[in-house]
Amino acid sequence: MGRGAPAAATASANASARRNRRRRTRLLLGSGPCRHRASLPGWSSRSSWAALAGALALEPLLGAPSALLVAQGAGALAIVVAERLWPFRREWNHSHGDLLTDVCHAIVSGLGTAQLARPLVMAAGVVVAGALSRSLGVGLWPAHWHPLAQLALALVIAELPQYWLHRWQHERDWLWRFHAVHHSAPRLYWLNAARFHPVDLGLLYVIGWVPLVLLGCPETTLMLFALFDAVFGMLQHSNIDVRLGPLNRVFSMAEPHRWHHSRVLDEANTNYGSNLIVWDLVFGTFFLPADREPPARIGIAAMPAFPPGYLAQLAVPFRWRRVQSEAAGHDARAAA
The Cα–Cα gap between 174 and 180 comes to: 11
Examine residue 124 and state whether it is found in any structural domain, yes or no: yes
Per-residue model confidence as pLDDT tens digits over 149-164: 999 999 999 999 999 9
Looking at residue 240, what is its pLDDT?
92
Examine residue 106 and state whether it is found in any structural domain, yes or no: yes
Reply yes or no on whether the pLDDT at 127 is more than 70.
no
Which residues make beta-bridge pairs with 276? Answer: 251
H helix runs in the chain, sequence order: 4-28, 43-62, 64-85, 99-105, 114-136, 147-171, 173-183, 198-214, 219-237, 254-260, 265-268, 278-283, 310-315, 320-335
Examine residue 3 and state whether it is found in any structural domain, yes or no: no
Q: What is the pTM of this model?
A: 0.80
For residue 280, the Cα-to-chain-centroid distance in whole angstroms is: 15
Q: Greatest CA span in the chain, whole angstroms?
A: 92
Query: Average pLDDT of the chain?
Result: 80
Examine residue 1 and state whether it is found in any structural domain, yes or no: no
Q: 316: how many CB neighbours lie within 10 A of its CB? A: 20
Examine residue 7 and state whether it is found in any structural domain, yes or no: no
Task: Check if the beta carbon of residue 163 is closer than 8 Å to that of residue 240.
Answer: no
Per-residue model confidence as pLDDT tens digits over 287-331: 999 999 999 999 999 888 899 999 999 999 999 999 888 876 665
Looking at residue 128, what is its pLDDT?
61
The Cα–Cα gap between 70 and 179 comes to: 29
What length does the chain have? 336
Examine residue 252 and state whether it is found in any structural domain, yes or no: yes
Per-residue model confidence as pLDDT tens digits over 182-208: 999 999 999 999 999 999 998 998 899
Task: Check if the beta carbon of residue 260 is closer than 8 Å to that of residue 277.
Answer: no
Looking at residue 138, what is its pLDDT?
53
Number of domains in the chain: 1
Reply yes or no on whether the pLDDT at 28 is more than 60.
no
Examine residue 76 and state whether it is found in any structural domain, yes or no: yes
Higher pLDDT, 259 or 75: 259
Residues whose CB is less than 8 angstroms from the CB of residue 85 and which lie 6 or more positions away in sequence, other chains included: none
The whole domain housing 308 covers: 41-335
Examine residue 27 and state whether it is found in any structural domain, yes or no: no
The type of residue at 78 is A
The Cα–Cα gap between 258 and 227 comes to: 22
The Cα–Cα gap between 144 and 236 comes to: 31
